């Protein structure tokens, strides 16, 4: 990001924690209220930017992170702050999320506990110390003699509430922060304030309910889909014929059929606006049908994808990435090994596929400011990108955030899809414009999770101890944060992923080792990641092609699937039970803990694979079991899947999914369980159904028939085992991993059931039948 905060003026809160209600809450339907809000930024150095304490001891919490359904901002964040400040959970009556003029820190909405959670914990800890200082002076009691319970400070026989304490007071406090607000990572709170010992936790560890759920289930929530501004027009964009087509001749708008519609053309960006949504849709369809685009064929097509990746992609320009745990001489050790395995694995492109297509309202105002109302995982980064696109100072851009469909990483770099198009159309017609992508556009013009090829080589000794592990992972770049509307309109964007990434971004083609090595008893390890450019991007006259973005367990799924499946294959060849084989490779108590817990909870049969009853033909279902393990964001995971395969039909069904998780400190067991269940089912969906299809020109997955996902019919018995280890002292992440673990466990279970190994996903009937006949 080259745009900078050129003339940042901070909201004047004077350092006091008591500020008016005017900054809080949102009322987008009232233009004067929006105008009264600042068009600038909050100063993250001020405690009042993070927390607002009212006279009645209730509080507002502000975070630049946006909750996408993990419930973290509405449960875990409140718990973390309430715990550090010694206030009841219920005292935090409001959470302001994401709005760029109303929250302090920015950054992506992912790794909620690791990043945003740590920021809030430290900001709260600094504030707590400042409150104690204030109380000591006010009460005339030494700070060390003060105690706090439920937001009431006591000492020397005297008491005062936080609300009374901060009323009209200045806090002598600067919260130290570092970073760039509109970068991928936002601001980070630094330093080491004294923090509450984890043994004293009373609020963290409790199963609080999500305070947003009642409004979501009773239709009282203001969703992104509900934003309506005065004078707003409905917009639709006519996207090009292919991912590389340029505009030859735009169609005339049929004004007799669509009398109130307007056509807007800017470069290759073709848009239609109208007062009603139905007229905008009709007009866009009419224009799309008659507009001429150039032809383009620059993609390999998905049937040829993995051959193309192996033989034609450029893996040489990008520097290879080495695993942090690489050690010894894996090549020599493997050639000396008693037995060894050399295999190769393939994963397809997958779509994030939010259940609602991207939608945004752009409001280019007469005063030169630009308001964007959206649902986005990185509002500050979006703000920077929009400012860059429009050539305006960042201060002129405000992004407001609402609830919406889960994005699973697609917008964590600031680009959900419709925002830039909405503001460009608004700028053209000088009215607010709501751009809603239709279902096909949301699958065909969004970014995707990149495909991968991995070559794995494992050697082991007579005792079943792995002596050498080598992995070569190949994957195109996975973090394209360019705005597609800006590309079409030929306006400035951040760079496409290149071999060397600009500072503060993740946008390089380097394929880092994302899956931490967990089998530390293995003496020789050589993991290498090879990266390349996005497929078709450089060849596309639009610079578009197949754009990629991190998804849920980015890169780690692509590396964990081959690793864990290969280790299960090695265990089978060694004639050793797959859990026992893993236990032999590690002394790590936390890894061993989740593996033994999942073994005990799942009804695992301790025996080598394949099953003694394995069969690769016939119409009778055969059953099998598979295991996988992972370390992600400080959390240890292990999962067991039990599956049934009907060889004659090629139908794979997951009967039971059991998962054990050790995140260290468990913040909210109920919400953790629900999030894990969701991730588990997304993983089943990946394993059984998901593959983005494309031809030489376009993505051909365009609806839920051509990109099927899991349905209720496929839901297995799910068992979640949570293993709290508060002595670890950190909150490990809990919303990512369950999906990635499922895919290798299911593939291993398929092998156990049939004796045949499927080394790519998804396990659809035709592929399964070809594997079983091989």
Rule CB under 8 A: which residues touch another protein?
68-71, 209-210, 213-214, 216-219, 221-223, 225-226, 228, 276-278, 353-357, 359, 403-406, 408, 436, 438-439, 670-671, 674-675, 677-682, 684-685, 703-705, 709-713, 715, 718
CB of 438 to another protein, least distance (A): 6
Which residue's CB is nearer to another protein, number 576 or number 718? 718
**Which residues, 6+ apart, have CB-to-CB distance to 82 below 8 Å?**
88, 89, 91, 92, 203
Q: Please, which residue, 353 or 631, has the CB nearer to another protein?
A: 353
Between residues 670 and 728, which has the closer beta carbon with respect to another protein?
670
Q: Quick one: 436 or 635, whose CB is closer to another protein?
A: 436
Q: Which is nearer to another protein, 66 or 567 (CB)?
A: 66
CB of 680 to another protein, least distance (A): 7
Residues 460 and 522: their CA atoms lie apart, in Å, by: 9
By C-beta, is 574 or 720 nearer to another protein? 720
Give Rg (Cα) of the chain: 27
DSSP 125: H
Q: How is 388-440 classified by DSSP, letter by letter?
A: HHHT--GGGEEEEE-B----TTTTTTS--SSHHHHHHHHHHHTS-EEEE--HH
Q: Where are the alpha helices (DSSP H) in 665-764?
A: 669-688, 738-754
C-beta closer to another protein: residue 57 or 377:
377
Three-class DSSP category at 225: helix
Q: Are 62 and 55 in contact (CB under 8 A)?
A: no
Least gap, CB of 404 to another protein (angstroms):
7
| Shortest distance in whole angstroms from residue 300 CB to another protein | 28
Question: 645 and 746 in contact (C-beta within 8 Å)?
Answer: no
Identify which of residues 279 and 480 has a Cβ nearer to another protein in the complex.
279
What distance in Å separates the CA atoms of residue 483 and residue 509, rounded to the nearest whole number?
18
HSE-CB of 351 using CA atoms within 13 angstroms: 28
| Least distance CB 594 / another protein (angstroms) | 20
Closest approach of Cβ 145 to another protein, in Å? Answer: 42
Residue keyed to tokens 């397809």: 348
Q: How far is the CB of 663 from another protein (least distance, A)?
A: 18
Q: Which residues contact 217 (CB under 8 A, 6 or more apart)?
A: none
DSSP 178-215: EEETTSSSEEEE-S------GGG-SSTTS-PPPTTHHH
CA dist 140 and 113 (Å) reads: 37
- Smallest gap from Cβ 101 to another protein, in A, equals 24
Choice between 219 and 366, CB closer to another protein: 219
Cβ 699 to another protein shortest distance, Å: 16
Burial of 249 (0-12, 13-18, 19+ CB in 10 A): exposed
Q: Shortest Cβ distance from residue 182 to another protein (Å)? A: 25
Q: Judge contact between 129 and 194, C-beta under 8 A.
A: yes
- Which one, 221 or 580, has the nearer CB to another protein? 221
For residue 154, how many C-alpha atoms fall within 13 Å in the half-sphere facing its CB? 7
């Amino acid at each position: 990001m080259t745009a900078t905060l050129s003339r940042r003026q901070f909201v004047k809160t004077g350092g006091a924690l008591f500020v008016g209600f005017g900054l809080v809450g949102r009322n987008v339907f009232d233009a004067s209220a929006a105008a009264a809000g600042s068009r600038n930024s909050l100063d993250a150095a001020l405690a009042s930017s993070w927390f607002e304490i009212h006279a009645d001891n209730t509080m507002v919490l502000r975070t630049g992170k946006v909750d996408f359904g993990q419930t973290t901002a509405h449960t875990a964040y409140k718990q973390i702050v309430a715990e550090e400040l010694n206030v009841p959970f219920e005292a935090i009556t409001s959470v302001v999320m994401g709005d760029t003029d109303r929250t302090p820190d920015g950054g992506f909405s992912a790794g909620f506990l690791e990043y945003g959670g740590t920021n809030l914990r430290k900001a709260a800890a600094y504030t707590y110390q400042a409150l104690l200082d204030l109380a000591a002076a006010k009460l005339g009691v030494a700070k060390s003699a003060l105690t706090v319970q439920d937001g009431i400070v006591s000492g020397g026989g005297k008491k005062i509430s936080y609300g009374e304490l901060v009323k009209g007071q200045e806090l002598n406090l600067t919260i130290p922060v570092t970073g760039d607000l509109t970068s991928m990572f936002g601001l980070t709170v630094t330093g080491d304030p004294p923090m509450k010992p984890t043994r004293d936790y009373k609020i963290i560890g409790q199963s609080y309910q999500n305070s947003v759920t009642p409004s979501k289930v009773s239709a009282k929530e203001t969703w992104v889909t509900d934003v309506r501004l005065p004078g707003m027009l409905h917009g639709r964009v006519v996207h090009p014929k292919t991912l590389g087509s340029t505009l030859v001749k735009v169609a005339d708008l049929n004004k007799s059929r669509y009398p109130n519609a307007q056509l807007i053309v800017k470069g290759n960006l073709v848009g239609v606006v109208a007062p009603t949504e139905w007229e905008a849709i009709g007009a866009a369809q009419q224009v799309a049908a008659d507009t001429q685009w150039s032809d383009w064929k620059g993609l390999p097509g998905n049937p040829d994808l993995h051959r193309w990746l192996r033989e034609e992609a450029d893996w040489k320009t990008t520097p290879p990435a080495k695993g942090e745990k690489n050690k010894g001489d894996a090549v020599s050790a493997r050639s000396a090994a008693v037995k060894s395995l050399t295999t190769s694995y393939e994963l397809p492109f997958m779509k994030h596929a939010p259940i609602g297509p991207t939608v945004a309202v752009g409001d280019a105002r007469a005063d030169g400011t630009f308001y964007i109302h959206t649902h986005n995982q990185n509002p500050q980064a979006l703000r920077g990108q929009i400012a860059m696109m429009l050539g305006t100072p960042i201060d002129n851009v405000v992004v407001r955030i609402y609830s919406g469909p889960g994005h699973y990483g697609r917008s964590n770099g600031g680009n959900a899809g419709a925002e830039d198009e909405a503001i460009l159309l608004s700028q053209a017609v000088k009215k607010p414009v709501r751009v809603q992508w239709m279902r096909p556009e949301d699958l065909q013009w969004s970014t995707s999770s990149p495909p991968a090829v991995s070559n794995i080589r494992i050697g082991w000794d007579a005792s079943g101890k792995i002596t050498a592990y080598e992995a070569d992972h190949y994957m195109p770049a996975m973090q394209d944060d360019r705005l597609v509307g800006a590309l079409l309109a030929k306006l400035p964007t951040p760079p496409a992923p290149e071999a060397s990434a600009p500072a503060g971004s993740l946008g390089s083609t380097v394929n880092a080792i994302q899956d931490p090595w967990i089998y530390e008893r293995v003496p020789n390890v050589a993991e290498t990641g090879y990266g390349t450019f996005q497929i078709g991007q450089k060849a596309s006259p639009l610079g578009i092609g197949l754009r990629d973005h991190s998804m849920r367990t980015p890169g780690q799924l692509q590396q964990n699937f081959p690793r864990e499946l290969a280790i299960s294959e090695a265990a089978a060849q060694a004639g050793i039970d797959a859990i026992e084989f893993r236990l032999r490779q590690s002394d790590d108590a936390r890894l061993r803990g989740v593996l033994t817990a999942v073994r005990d909870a799942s009804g695992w049969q301790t025996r080598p694979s394949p099953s003694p009853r394995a069969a690769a033909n016939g119409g009778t279902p055969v059953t099998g079991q598979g295991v996988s393990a992972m370390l992600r964001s400080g959390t240890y995971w292990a999962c067991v899947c039990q599956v049934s395969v009907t060889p004659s039909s090629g139908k794979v069904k997951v009967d039971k999914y059991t998962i054990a998780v050790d995140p260290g400190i468990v913040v909210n067991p109920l919400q953790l369980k629900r999030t894990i269940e969701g991730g588990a089912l997304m993983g089943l969906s990946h394993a059984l159904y998901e593959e983005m299809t494309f031809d030489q020109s376009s993505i051909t997955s365009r609806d839920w028939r051509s990109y099927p996902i899991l349905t209720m019919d496929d839901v297995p018995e799910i068992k979640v085992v949570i293993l709290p280890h508060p002595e670890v002292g950190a909150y490990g992440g809990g919303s990512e991993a369950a999906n990635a673990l499922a895919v290798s466990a299911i593939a291993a279970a398929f092998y156990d059931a049939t004796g045949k190994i499927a080394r790519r996903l998804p396990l659809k009937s035709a592929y399964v039948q070809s594997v079983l006949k091989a």
